[in-house]
Amino acid sequence: MKKGIKSRFFSRRRSLFTIGIICSVIIAFFTIIGPFIWNADPTATDYANQCLPPSGEHWFGTDNNGRDVFTRVISGAHLSIGVALAVVGIGAAIGITVGIVAGFAGGAVDTILMRIVEIMLSFPGIIFALAVLGTLGNGTEHQIIALAAVRWAHYARLVRIETISVMNSEYLPASRAIGNSKLRIVFRYILPNIIGRVIVIATLSIGPVILAGASLSYLGLGAQIPSPEWGLMINGGKEYIRQAPWITVAPGIAAVFTAFSFNLLGEGIGDLIDPRLKEKAEVD
């Protein structure tokens, strides 16, 4: 009986990881290779072909300005996914630094840093991002700063817990006894033991960040017209939802599929490393 349960568990792990990898490869293909295959200007207008339905010539139809929706969705992947990766990378870098410093130093340093983290986590993420953008102004760069300011605290809390766990392990006092410096302990013992967990949480964060970025762009606080950002495209097509629903549906499906794919990939990686890690992922 136990063997059968274990077999199903490992089968599920492989299935999630396989599906996540396949979906990610598809996304990577269209994001990286797509623009070279469908070499067209996503901002080029053709008012003679406004709101055309999907066809062999225009796979996802055209929008209210006669622009090819498929070309814009493919081009927008660079922006939407690029913003998400930048946010996750910056947020993880800040969070890892703060978490390790807090967990390693302990005492007053730990208390002060964790109070700051708790304050950050007490705000709804999207509301805090709106406040930051209201201060800095619109634009993709400011959007990245706003979303990274929301995300770093999640990583800091996780890394601090994992750092304390490593600090309490049996082999760390021995590493100090043989004369390892604090910096060497961090890079040789602490960071290698927490990086796998950070990768899982970071992968699981990409999907929510893509949707959060699309939401901000939908509100006009991220990328600006005529950028083919997915949230901005959804906003641009909302007035034509009845006569040309493909203008809104196509980028919406792209955003949801991409977020779903990264979630599957993150869950698969999490199951392979440690099934309990998914419970630590923050839901935005």
Give the pLDDT confidence of 77-130 residue by residue, as tens digits. Answer: 888 999 999 999 999 999 999 999 998 888 899 999 999 999 998 888 888 888
Q: Exposed e or buried b for every residue in 214-231, given b needs 16+ CB within 10 A? A: bbbbbeebbbeeebbbbb
> Is 266 a domain residue?
yes
Between 134 and 277, the more confident residue is 134
CA distances for 36 relative to 45, 74, 155, 257, angstroms: 20, 10, 36, 22
Mean pLDDT, rounded, of the chain: 84
Query: Can you read off the two tokens belonging to residue 18?
Result: 């396989």
Residue 188 lies in a domain: yes
pLDDT, one tens digit per residue, over 8-29 is 545 556 677 788 888 888 888 8
Task: Say if 64 falls within a structural domain.
Answer: no
Q: Whats the size of the chain, residue-wise?
A: 284
**Would you say residue 232 lies in a domain?**
no
What is the radius of gyration, based on Cα positions, of the chain?
22
In a domain, 151, yes or no: yes
CATH number at 101 reads 1.10.3720.10
What pLDDT, on a 0 to 100 scale, did the predictor assign at position 267?
81
Taking the C-alpha atoms of residue 270 and residue 204, their distance in angstroms, rounded to an integer, is: 9
Domain count, the chain: 1
pLDDT in tens, 161-195: 888 888 877 767 777 777 777 777 777 878 888 88
> Which range of residues forms the domain containing residue 208?
76-224+255-280
Does 55 map to a domain? no
The reported pTM is: 0.84
Arithmetic mean of pLDDT, 244-248: 92
Quick check: 131 pLDDT over 60?
yes
Q: Could you tell me if residue 119 is inside a domain?
A: yes
Considering the domain boundaries, does residue 71 fall inside one?
A: no
Given this model, what pLDDT does residue 19 score? Answer: 84
The C-alpha atoms of residue 273 and residue 269 are separated, in whole angstroms, by 6
Q: Which residue pairs, CB below 8 angstroms and at least 24 apart, start in 29-36?
A: 30/74, 30/77, 31/74, 31/77, 31/78, 31/81, 34/74, 34/77, 35/74, 35/75, 35/78
